[in-house]
């Protein structure tokens, strides 16, 4: 529950997935459930991750099942998905399509195996196809070297870079590994190619460039992926491959999804709820507060590097204990600074290539007449 900054009213969401929330509080997997419109919710575990599971959705149609976000590629996840299909009275052979709301491994990881086993097509937004790991780097070495250069620009020390790159590209790390290419591309407003059912793509960039929500108008549900979650905000990060202002795009997408307030939200994590407009206002407020905190940090440090800003912010645990999550933290900090540059509150201090490659920031002054992004 949060206060709407524009009206002062208290904005509320209503939990619809009461069994899901109870399981979340117990730190157990929620049950497989049949929802309105005959859609099934299937929890697929994410090993050793605080998110615990992805909620995969089975959407029946006249020509078979569509699986939305199959989940993390591991044997435990695969068996959970098979069990969910069996609970729904179906099998892998009934699957005709797979839709990835976005290509993060906890959503798109099992898509390749599921296509191989079922013969189903895979669909995603064109911008997600363009950010598949194999399209961003020709090799694991290129991926590592590009990440190291990015961290140096942001002001990371060599010891921090070595620590963060320690597991990058290892067998246990999915980042940079090739993932399934799509067979079908879904632009904003396109219908998922199934018979006897309307399932419409709603483009919601921000968390990723091609993130999709899926609207089922007859059942009045919106599958929100990671775009709108009931309790946490998705990471809005700016990475070396970013091609647009991610936080601005995310906030614009929130305004758009608020128009589906009469729909139940079926998110990819935690539990389903009603009150998409209220949740959008809460997320707007969260990012406004984060921007205010960043401005205070920049005021206190003068002309800090982006890394120095990030390590002074409030995180869920002390900066020294974040570990590999520093990737997400520094990307989130960069996205917020990029947004503040667009507002005219922050200016980039471009490095002198003859002396340093490190980017710094400061509060804008009157003579700052143009605002350029960090890309």
Of the CA atoms within 13 Å of residue 168, those in its CB half-sphere come to 22
User: What gap in Å lies between CA 163 and CA 255, rounded to an integer?
Assistant: 39
The torsion angles phi and psi of 112, rounded to 5 degrees, stand at -60, -45
Same fold, 10-132+179-280 and 287-363: no
Looking at the domain 10-132+179-280, which fold is it? Metallo-beta-lactamase; Chain A (3.60.15)
User: What gap in Å lies between CA 355 and CA 289, rounded to an integer?
Assistant: 35
User: What gap in Å lies between CA 84 and CA 63, rounded to an integer?
Assistant: 19
Residue reference for tokens 């939305």: 68
How many Cβ atoms sit within 10 Å of the Cβ of residue 289? 13
Q: What is the pLDDT along the chain (375 residues), one digit of tens a residue?
A: 333 343 333 468 999 999 999 999 999 999 999 999 999 999 999 998 889 999 999 999 999 999 999 999 999 999 999 999 999 999 999 999 999 999 999 999 999 999 999 999 999 999 999 999 888 766 566 667 788 888 999 999 999 888 888 766 554 555 557 899 999 999 999 999 999 999 999 999 999 999 999 999 999 999 999 999 999 999 999 977 666 799 999 999 999 999 999 999 999 999 999 999 999 999 999 999 999 999 999 999 999 999 999 999 999 889 988 888 888 999 999 999 999 999 999 999 987 776 668 899 999 975 565 444 443
Q: Which pTM value belongs to this model?
A: 0.90
Six-digit token pair at 12? 């509320």
CA distances from 289 to 164, 284, 364 (A): 28, 9, 19
For the domain covering 287-363, report its CATH number.
1.10.10.580
Domain boundaries, the chain: 10-132+179-280, 287-363
User: What gap in Å lies between CA 203 and CA 156, rounded to an integer?
Assistant: 34
Please classify residue 372 by burial: count the beta carbons closer than 10 Å to its beta carbon, then call 0-12 exposed, 13-18 middle and 19+ buried: exposed
């Amino acid at each position: 529950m949060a206060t709407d900054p524009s009206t002062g009213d208290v904005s509320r969401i209503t939990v619809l997935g009461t069994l899901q929330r109870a399981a979340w509080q117990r730190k157990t997997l929620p049950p497989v459930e049949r929802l309105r419109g005959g859609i099934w919710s299937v929890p697929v575990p994410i090993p050793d991750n605080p998110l615990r599971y992805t909620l995969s959705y089975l959407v029946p149609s006249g020509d078979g099942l569509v699986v939305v976000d199959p989940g993390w590629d591991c044997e435990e996840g695969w068996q959970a998905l098979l069990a969910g299909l069996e609970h729904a009275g179906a099998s892998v052979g009934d699957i005709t399509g797979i839709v990835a709301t976005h290509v993060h491994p906890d959503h798109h990881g099992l898509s390749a195996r599921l296509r191989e086993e079922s013969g189903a097509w895979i669909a995603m937004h064109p911008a997600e196809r363009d950010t598949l790991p194999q399209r961003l780097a020709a090799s694991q070495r290129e991926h590592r070297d590009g990440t190291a250069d990015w961290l140096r620009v942001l002001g990371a020390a060599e010891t921090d870079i070595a620590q963060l790159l320690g597991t990058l590209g290892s067998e246990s790390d999915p980042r940079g590994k090739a993932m399934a290419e799509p067979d079908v591309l879904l632009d904003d407003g396109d219908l998922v190619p199934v018979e006897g059912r309307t399932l419409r793509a709603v483009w919601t960039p921000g968390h990723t460039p091609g993130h999709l929500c899926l609207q089922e108008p007859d059942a009045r549900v919106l599958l929100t992926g990671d775009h709108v979650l009931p309790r946490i905000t998705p990471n809005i990060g700016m990475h070396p491959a970013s091609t647009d202002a991610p936080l601005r795009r995310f906030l614009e997408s929130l305004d758009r999804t608020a128009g589906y307030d009469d729909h139940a939200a079926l998110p990819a994590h935690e539990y389903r709820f009603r009150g998409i407009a209220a949740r959008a206002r809460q997320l707007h407020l969260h990012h406004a507060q984060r921007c205010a905190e960043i401005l205070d940090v920049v005021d206190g440090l003068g002309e800090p590097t982006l890394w120095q800003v990030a390590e002074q912010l409030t995180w869920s645990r002390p900066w020294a204990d974040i570990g590999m999550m520093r990737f997400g933290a520094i990307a989130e900090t960069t996205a917020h600074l990029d947004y503040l540059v667009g507002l005219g509150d922050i200016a980039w201090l471009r490095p002198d290539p003859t002396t340093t490659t490190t980017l710094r920031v400061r509060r804008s002054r009157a003579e700052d007449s143009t605002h350029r992004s960090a890309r």
